[in-house]
Amino acid sequence: MALPFHSEDYMDGAEAAAVIAAGVGVLAVGAVVPVGAWLMALHWMPCAWVRPALTALAFAIWLGTWWRLRRAWQGRAYAARRVLYWSGGLLLLGWVIGSPLLVWLFPGLKLP
């Protein structure tokens, strides 16, 4: 669906992909803390490489999401407000789970 670039209500698919991928990336990086704590507590994974490995995986998830969404959404128009709300929600969720909140709630866990 071709729309003029100055449309207020719709955003280009490539830009929507970048915004959503940023939210997914932040969520993936935030998930390093709870997933790492879980791996270390239950599966005795060594702290020395849990975080770098999970961080590298999170970066790969972000780039992969961006690449796939860009290919799928290129040339299409998306409701700008909905895209921004979704991305904002993902960013906020990533922030919250990326904090040591889980470790405060469950002191038996260790931070990766």
Asked if 11 and 75 count as a contact pair (C-beta separation under 8 A), the reply is no
Residues 6 or more apart in contact with residue 56 via CB below 8 angstroms: none
Concatenating the DSSP letter of every residue in 52-105 gives HHHHHHHHHHHHHHHHHHHHHHTT-EEEHHHHHHHHHHHHHHHHHHHSTHHHHH
Is residue 22 close enough to count as binding other proteins by CB under 8 A? yes
Interface with other proteins (CB under 8 A), residue total: 45
**Candidate residues 13, 19, 69, 73; the one interacting with other proteins per rule CB under 8 A:** 19
Among 6, 43, 107, 108, binds other proteins (CB under 8 A): 6
Contact positions vs other proteins (CB under 8 A): 5-9, 11-12, 14-15, 18-19, 21-22, 25-26, 29-30, 32-33, 40, 46-49, 51-52, 55, 58-59, 62, 80-81, 84, 87-88, 91, 94-95, 98-100, 103, 110-112
